[in-house]
Amino acid sequence: MTYTTEQDMIDRFGNDELLQLTDRNNTGAIDTTVLDDAIADAGNEIDSYLGGRYTLPLSTVPPVLNRVCADIARYRLYTFEAPTEVANRYKANTQWLTQVANGVIQLGVDAVGAQPADAVTPPNPPARVFTYDTLKDY
């Protein structure tokens, strides 16, 4: 699932940084294929944490996942070694996702198997017509 976009990444980290990280063929432009792959990888990583607790895709995406996805995608764009700040953000985000997966932190969306607050509970079924006693002579 996509939790962030190319434009979100540019707004957060700037055109220059993304150009340096994605322009592997020295074209002078952000390579959207490389950026999209990093965003997809980050989304898949997030889904791997959320999938055990939430029904995917999420019906509504909490804004915090936009930031988390952008940070993870940025980390993934560093081919060799990410700067300390980027690596620390990645580590903090994976720890946060672990807490979400364990139920310590709630996203504010319905978890797997949870019944939404406005769901209608089915009425109690009527008493059984055919029981052992009513059928014992047949």
C-alpha angle 102-63-120 in degrees, rounded to nearest 5: 65
Beta carbons within 8 Å of 35's beta carbon, 6+ residues apart = 6, 9, 18, 22, 73, 77
Across residues 114-121, what is the average pLDDT? Answer: 48
> pLDDT at position 135, please?
76
> pLDDT at position 1, please?
75
CA dihedral of residues 67, 92, 89, 100 (deg, nearest 10): -20
> pLDDT at position 115, please?
45
Across residues 111-134, what is the average pLDDT? Answer: 60
- What's the pLDDT band for 136 if we cut at 50, 70, 90? confident
**pLDDT tens, position by position, 67-101:** 999 999 999 999 889 999 999 999 999 999 999 99
Beta carbons within 8 Å of 70's beta carbon, 6+ residues apart = 4, 8, 9, 12, 13, 42
27 membership: H or E segment, kind and range: none
Query: Which residue in 6, 13, 18, 2 sits closest to 71, CA to CA?
Result: 13
How far, in Å, CA of 46 to CA of 125, rounded?
41
Three-class secondary structure of residue 135 per DSSP:
helix
Q: Is the pLDDT of residue 65 over 70?
A: yes
- Percent of residues, the chain, with pLDDT higher than 90: 69
Report how far apart, in Å, the C-alpha atoms of 125 and of each of 6, 113, 116 are: 52, 22, 22
Q: Is the pLDDT of residue 117 over 60?
A: no
Q: Where are the domains of the chain?
A: 6-135
**pLDDT tens, position by position, 12-45:** 999 999 999 999 999 999 999 999 999 999 999 9
- Average pLDDT of the chain, as a whole number: 88
CA dihedral of residues 37, 41, 46, 47 (deg, nearest 10): 100
